[in-house]
Structure 1
């Protein structure tokens, strides 16, 4: 089998099965695992898969820059935002992550809602300027422009001094095995720091992130309360998560 044919076969497996196990592919095709790993490296360098130990997973489309992500799945994000906003109770304290889905949540909050919003996203904070009863705390630090959030040592230290009833967490990948992932190590660390300061953490994930993975793990499934998504409830990933006891809320 030619290299181009192997690559096409690998991409087909990824689309149909949601993962590639290098040793299984090597056995099926009668080639060495080194050849499969080499093909996976080439595909990963082109942004077509996310390499993991022993194989590969679908790459998340949500690793594009902030401006590009605003045009990805806007209707799904709107539905998730409405469902997430319904979780915020009057008088409660909310930690709201950065990203385009979190921005949609900020815009979906009732204008007269009396609450406290803690965020490390300047865009989320700005979106709440017209919410007169919302007390907004913006955590400072180095601005990670890709996601328009602050992160780094200063932001993580600031996070240690807050607490909240609810954290609405954004990620770029949702996978039963890889867990909850994102594309930057410092951003992943900041998300963990925020999750540690909330009584409940709900993941916000539009359908294109389900079954995908990025390089850095944010949290294991044991670290979250539930998942909010607009994906088909019969999606095999969602069925797998429900079987593990993860609360899946349909948006």
Structure 2
């Protein structure tokens, strides 16, 4: 439990509210306790100054682990492969770019890899991603807001979708749950899929990521809607039907080879499938 000695009743409520959810938006808290957004913002500034939480655009999160045990186990699955994938993706994104980062453990690896950049403009519906960037002031981070869903700190719903519609991204980066028999990316949660589609609608490059454990899984529904991936980053050679589907769409396959060191992404195996 967090020690709350010396805090006002309102400040205690805010901390408990954020503790229960991991992350909360100013708008939602102001509506729930019937005060102005500016009042909540002042309380968050005070609480941040006393090291209880970290503020972001539109909300705040605790300075402690956001994840339940089950999600922590998910993060550790195929971690080396995810880190190789993340290194490749981070090297694809130049300083100053505008980037949508989705939710999920692989995307969080990308966020950590992007910490070396001198400047970026990041928009994310992930409270976990925002927490990673909290120690990187050179990266301008905007959190979409929305309803918190799941242990990975995803913010979903119409508010988040409308927010994404107001941006244009140089890069949209997302992982997914599996592939269908035709080699198309699929995922499980319709609300999170809707976020990705909204971001892809406004992105010049659409980067998908999948570690090898996803190759033989099929999730609930296709992820991309009317868009196709411009790049697919994987940690091993994918099955033929996945490679063929990407080639047909004109996408680029990049394999982050296991034998290469993480920092040597420039020498990793790359294949421009669309040219075959």
Deviations along 1:105-139, one digit per CA (max 9) or x if unpaired, are 01111434211011010100110112221100011
User: Please, which runs of 5 or more residues in structure 2 have no aligned partner?
Assistant: 1-68, 257-276
Relative to the length of structure 2, the TM-score reads 0.63
The answer for the alignment partner of 1:164 in structure 2 is 169
Among candidates 46, 71, 74, match of residue 76 of structure 2: 71
Given that 2:178 and 2:217 are in contact with CA atoms closer than 8 Å, whether structure 1 keeps it comes out as yes
Quote the Cα distance in structure 2 between the aligned partners of 1:68 and 1:80: 19
The answer for the alignment partner of 1:236 in structure 2 is 240
Please give the secondary structure, in 2, of the residue aligned with 1:113: coil
The answer for the alignment partner of 1:106 in structure 2 is 111
Given that 1:76 and 1:206 are in contact with CA atoms closer than 8 Å, whether structure 2 keeps it comes out as yes
Deviating 4+ runs (over 4 angstroms): none
Quote the Cα distance in structure 2 between the aligned partners of 1:201 and 1:220: 12
Please give the secondary structure, in 1, of the residue aligned with 2:76: coil
Please give the secondary structure, in 2, of the residue aligned with 1:84: helix
Given that 1:178 and 1:213 are in contact with CA atoms closer than 8 Å, whether structure 2 keeps it comes out as no
Cα distance change of structure 1 residues 134 and 240 upon mapping to structure 2, 3 Å threshold: same
Deviations along 1:132-162, one digit per CA (max 9) or x if unpaired, are 2110001100111144211111111111111
Aligned: 1:173 with 2:172: no
RCO higher in structure (CA 8 A, sep ≥6): 1
Cα distance change of structure 1 residues 190 and 222 upon mapping to structure 2, 3 Å threshold: closer
The answer for the alignment partner of 2:191 in structure 1 is 186
Superposed, 1:1-251 pairs within 5 Å as 66-175=71-180, 177=182, 179-219=184-224, 222-232=227-237, 235-244=239-248, 245-251=250-256
Aligned residues: 187
User: Please, which runs of 5 or more residues in structure 1 have no aligned partner?
Assistant: 1-63
Quote the Cα distance in structure 2 between the aligned partners of 1:84 and 1:108: 9
Quote the Cα distance in structure 1 between the aligned partners of 2:193 and 2:152: 12
Please state how far the C-alpha of 1:65 moved relative to its aligned partner. Answer: 5.3
Relative to the length of structure 1, the TM-score reads 0.69
Cα distance change of structure 1 residues 122 and 130 upon mapping to structure 2, 3 Å threshold: same
Cα distance change of structure 1 residues 199 and 152 upon mapping to structure 2, 3 Å threshold: same
| RMSD of equivalent CA atoms | 2.0
Cα distance change of structure 1 residues 110 and 147 upon mapping to structure 2, 3 Å threshold: closer
The answer for the alignment partner of 1:49 in structure 2 is none
Please give the secondary structure, in 1, of the residue aligned with 2:205: strand
